[in-house]
Amino acid sequence: MEERFIDLYNKYGDAVFRYCILRIADRETALDITQESFTKLWDEIAKGKIVENSRAFLFKITRNLVIDWYRKKKAVSLEEIAESKEEDLEEVIPLEDNAKYLSEIEVEGRYLLKKIDELPKSYREPLYLKYVEGMNNEEISKILNTKESATAVRIHRGIEELKKITGYQNE
């Protein structure tokens, strides 16, 4: 059981942290929520719960913890949130000094992440889970408590909306 947990932590720890840091924009809080997510996963495994899709289950726990954190959080200005997210992204996504191509991709990636963050929540979360975390529609639907077909529609509509706000829409 302990080996399985360590394997899950090694496999998904960074992804859970990235999810938290992009949602919360505070490194310490993101680390705390990441740790709490894995603690809750451990508790469930220790209780003997059979988890069919550990990744989806872990992200569902994390998503709920982030939601709980926002419910408890005091109001903060949008300017503070935008500034702190940019700083935290620099810590998470380091620049390659001599790789122009990689830095161009990084700039484009940051731009798209910011634009995804501007989407309505119903599109933002499925797009993030699909294209940043590489999850499939089934996993995403389990995390969001939606039908797989509804998840696919949200992803499609989210892409269309993202094209509009980024100017990438084919004319």
Query: In the structure encoding, which two tokens stand for residue 17, read together?
Result: 């942290």
Is 13 exposed, middle or buried (CB count within 10 Å of its CB: 0-12, 13-18, 19+)? middle
Fold of the domain spanning 1-74: Rna Polymerase Sigma Factor; Chain: A (1.10.1740)
Contact between residue 27 and residue 88 where contact means Cβ atoms under 8 Å apart: yes
CA dist 32 and 63 (Å) reads 13
Residue ranges of the chain with per-residue pLDDT less than 70: 73-108, 168-171
Beta-carbon count within 10 A of 20 CB: 26
Amino acid 110: pLDDT: 74
Amino acid 98: pLDDT: 37
The CATH number assigned to the domain with range 93-171 reads 1.10.10.10
- All CATH 1.10.1740 domain ranges of the chain, comma separated, are 1-74
Question: How many Cα atoms within 13 Å fall on the side-chain side of residue 20?
Answer: 29
- All CATH 1.10.10.10 domain ranges of the chain, comma separated, are 93-171
Q: The pTM is what?
A: 0.55
